[in-house]
Chain A
């Protein structure tokens, strides 16, 4: 156990902060820790959590994805046309939505690998492209998602918010196994040192493309889940989620220089951000001061995370970060 704690320091820290915040939130919430309160909190957290996972897959291989929000907007608009009707139609619609997400990720990955352009610039441009297509589909917000399905996925199972069940499934059944596959190891190898990964026979290009495709898949999932929560399509949801997903992965202990951090951390970071926002809402602070305080807390959290530079013994060590 001590070994586990030591090697996962950053995630343990993030999860600990999250637990403290959540306890405080439910303890101070005017209507107490009811399933209803938890469900709303978990739904908001999961949307950003999925976006943070998408960002995580870009960041872990030393990239960054500025198109996360745009892919969400696009898949949200696609879902607002397709996730309605009979069971089969909806199942097909969901598949199409996720395929669109993966396709967006592949476009990013191919441009990065074969176009040899930096991820930050590629995704800056593709974000504009994806938002454009989303606007073609939904010039103004509209469309509907099947209410029964949306309810089933955004409410609770036996008192536990479905969103938390989905989070557990993603961590336990997707991430844990993936981490142990060649792809999972490859992600960390490429992120830590591209040349070392290449020399140990890893196909760096394949890993990079796969990582962007996975990112696209989760951004698509984020867009889909957003659709279930709002039951409508809106092309303008992007920018907020892109920036918050970056903040979330950083809070979750994922290093922007690649190779360090886990998907669990990214999700924890997202929930931390959302919990801070929710706490703020019920805190009785003047509403106008809330954005400022949210910004201050974010900056303080990041600065504290960076404060271990003050403890380095050799000044040269700071350049390796």
Chain B
């Protein structure tokens, strides 16, 4: 019985899914086509971009930190991968995806170094890293949209289908599964949550906390880079500040998914729900063709309601 209970998801995790179902049902009253398979599978494809970023953000937030360098890690990965493909050299274009992923991991290590070794608050350090990346990209690209194109692989990863399921969604799910196993079934995963609860205690019990923090930021960097590669494949190009609109929704998705912003408590299952909820909310709001102003207001209000619902339930 106890093992069975352990496998039941917590209510926190279910709330965003319930919210998603309510959104779909409510939306379908206004636009019946929302219930169509085409629309829903398209949403899964779009959700994958935000979803990949949110996987990395979940790991970092579980640590009790935050990664504000997502926009330009995403943008940098997109610029690097499209530039390599655009060079026309077949070897270089084959290396496009690995190089971009390595770039993400590298920036993640820099983030983790500042946070774990220099003890700079992650919010400030990752912000500084983000602005340095922005500056570097401006120097390199001259402030214009970089030239280059996406490779066949990138395009099919972003827009292809596999048995009716969008490939981008599959990439997201594979990544989620991999990190999920890492978090739930490995010592590393336990350390991540432990640091989120109490870093000092974790350090005193013999864990090399800096290594764990650096590795977590590296995972987040890889996730952001993958998001950038997919997004570049989707748009068939990289453009300046392509990552900016993703930063805040990523954090919102993780938090709506029931992960505590203070660290320690949370799960990737909840994050998937949060991502689906935010993607659908955005999509329905734009299908309704209301003005930007009301879109912002509704978005903010619904997120506040979701958060209140979660926190006040926990009396």
Contacts from A to B (Cβ < 8 Å):
64, 111, 115-118, 120-122, 124-136, 139, 243, 246-247, 250, 256-257, 288-296, 298-299, 302-303, 305-307, 309, 316, 318-321
Decide yes or no: A116 and B311 within 8 Å by CB, A124-B248, A125-B300 being known contacts.
yes
Decide yes or no: A296 and B132 within 8 Å by CB, A116-B311, A128-B303, A135-B293 being known contacts.
yes
Check if B238 is an interface residue, CB within 8 A of chain A.
no
Compute how far the CA of A318 lies from the CA of B138 in the bound complex, rounded to whole angstroms: 36
Compute how far the CA of A302 lies from the CA of B124 in the bound complex, rounded to whole angstroms: 8
Chain B residues closer than 8 Å to A293, beta-carbon distance: 135
Chain B residues closer than 8 Å to A246, beta-carbon distance: 123-124, 127
- Which of B77-85, B114-122, B220-228 interfaces with chain A? B114-122
Q: Is the CB of A133 within 8 A of B297?
A: yes
The contact of B296 among A111, A132, A305, by CB within 8 Å, is A132
* B 276-313 to A, binary, CB cutoff 8 A, 1 in contact else 0: 00000000000000011111111111011001100110
Check if B62 is an interface residue, CB within 8 A of chain A.
no
Q: Is the CB of A302 within 8 A of B128?
A: yes
Decide yes or no: A288 and B138 within 8 Å by CB, A126-B300, A132-B295 being known contacts.
yes
Compute how far the CA of A290 lies from the CA of B143 in the bound complex, rounded to whole angstroms: 12
Q: Which 8 pairs show the lowest CB-CB distances between chains A and B? A: A292-B135, A132-B296, A129-B300, A132-B297, A128-B300, A135-B293, A295-B131, A291-B135
Compute how far the CA of A296 lies from the CA of B286 in the bound complex, rounded to whole angstroms: 38
Chain A residues closer than 8 Å to B136, beta-carbon distance: 292
Contacts from B to A (Cβ < 8 Å):
66, 114, 117-121, 123-125, 127-129, 131-136, 138-139, 142-143, 199-200, 203-204, 248, 251-252, 255, 261-262, 291-301, 303-304, 307-308, 311-312
Give the residue name and chain of the A residue nearest to B143 (CB): A288
Chain A residues closer than 8 Å to B248, beta-carbon distance: 124, 127-128
Does more than half of chain B's interface fall in helix, strand or loop, or is it mixed?
A: helix
Decide yes or no: A302 and B123 within 8 Å by CB, A116-B311, A121-B307, A291-B138 being known contacts.
no
Compute how far the CA of A292 lies from the CA of B143 in the bound complex, rounded to whole angstroms: 12
Q: Is the CB of B118 within 8 A of A303?
A: yes
Decide yes or no: A125 and B124 within 8 Å by CB, A291-B134, A294-B135, A295-B135 being known contacts.
no
Decide yes or no: A124 and B252 within 8 Å by CB, A64-B123, A250-B124, A295-B134 being known contacts.
yes
Compute how far the CA of A269 lies from the CA of B297 in the bound complex, rounded to whole angstroms: 32
Decide yes or no: A117 and B307 within 8 Å by CB, A125-B252, A288-B139, A306-B120 being known contacts.
yes
Using A117-B311, A289-B135 as known contacts, list a sample of 17 further A-B pairs with CB atoms less than 8 Å apart, ordered by residue number in A. Answer: A64-B123, A116-B312, A117-B307, A128-B300, A131-B296, A134-B293, A136-B297, A139-B292, A243-B127, A256-B124, A292-B132, A292-B134, A293-B135, A294-B135, A295-B132, A306-B118, A307-B118
**7 pairs, A vs B, C-beta closer than 8 Å:** A115-B311, A120-B66, A130-B300, A134-B293, A243-B127, A299-B131, A306-B114
Compute how far the CA of A295 lies from the CA of B126 in the bound complex, rounded to whole angstroms: 11
Give the residue name and chain of the A residue nearest to B131 (CB): A295
Q: Is the CB of A256 within 8 A of B119?
A: no
Q: Is the CB of B293 within 8 A of A132?
A: yes
Compute how far the CA of A320 lies from the CA of B203 in the bound complex, rounded to whole angstroms: 12
Max chain A C-beta neighbours (<10 A), residue from B132, B303, B304: B304
Compute how far the CA of A130 lies from the CA of B203 in the bound complex, rounded to whole angstroms: 42
Decide yes or no: A291 and B131 within 8 Å by CB, A139-B291, A256-B121, A318-B119 being known contacts.
yes
Max chain B C-beta neighbours (<10 A), residue from A125, A139, A288: A125
How far apart are B119's CB and chain A's nearest CB, in angstroms?
5
Decide yes or no: A129 and B301 within 8 Å by CB, A288-B142, A294-B135, A295-B132 being known contacts.
yes
How far apart are A27's CB and chain B's nearest CB, in angstroms?
26
The contact of B293 among A139, A256, A309, A320, by CB within 8 Å, is A139
Q: Is the CB of A115 within 8 A of B129?
A: no
The contact of B132 among A118, A299, A307, by CB within 8 Å, is A299
Compute how far the CA of A117 lies from the CA of B132 in the bound complex, rounded to whole angstroms: 32
How far apart are A296's CB and chain B's nearest CB, in angstroms?
6
Q: Is the CB of A319 within 8 A of B121?
A: no
Q: Is the CB of A321 within 8 A of B261?
A: no
Give the residue name and chain of the A residue nearest to B119 (CB): A309
Chain A residues closer than 8 Å to B125, beta-carbon distance: 299, 302
Chain B residues closer than 8 Å to A291, beta-carbon distance: 131, 134-135, 138
Give the residue name and chain of the B residue nearest to A315 (CB): B203
Q: Is the CB of A292 within 8 A of B138?
A: yes
Q: Is the CB of A118 within 8 A of B261?
A: yes
Q: Is the CB of B303 within 8 A of A125?
A: yes
Give the residue name and chain of the B residue nearest to A257 (CB): B121
Give the residue name and chain of the B residue nearest to A301 (CB): B128
Chain B residues closer than 8 Å to A296, beta-carbon distance: 132, 135
How far apart are B164's CB and chain A's nearest CB, in angstroms?
34
Give the residue name and chain of the A residue nearest to B305 (CB): A125
How far apart are B289's CB and chain A's nearest CB, in angstroms?
15
Decide yes or no: A292 and B200 within 8 Å by CB, A124-B251, A128-B296 being known contacts.
no
How far apart are A49's CB and chain B's nearest CB, in angstroms?
18
Chain B residues closer than 8 Å to A307, beta-carbon distance: 118
Q: Is the CB of A132 within 8 A of B294?
A: yes
Give the residue name and chain of the A residue nearest to B252 (CB): A124
Compute how far the CA of A64 lies from the CA of B127 in the bound complex, rounded to whole angstroms: 14
Give the residue name and chain of the B residue nearest to A118 (CB): B261
Q: Is the CB of B293 within 8 A of A126?
A: no
Compute how far the CA of A289 lies from the CA of B125 in the bound complex, rounded to whole angstroms: 21
Give the residue name and chain of the A residue nearest to B244 (CB): A239
Q: Is the CB of A127 within 8 A of B300?
A: yes
Give the residue name and chain of the A residue nearest to B72 (CB): A295
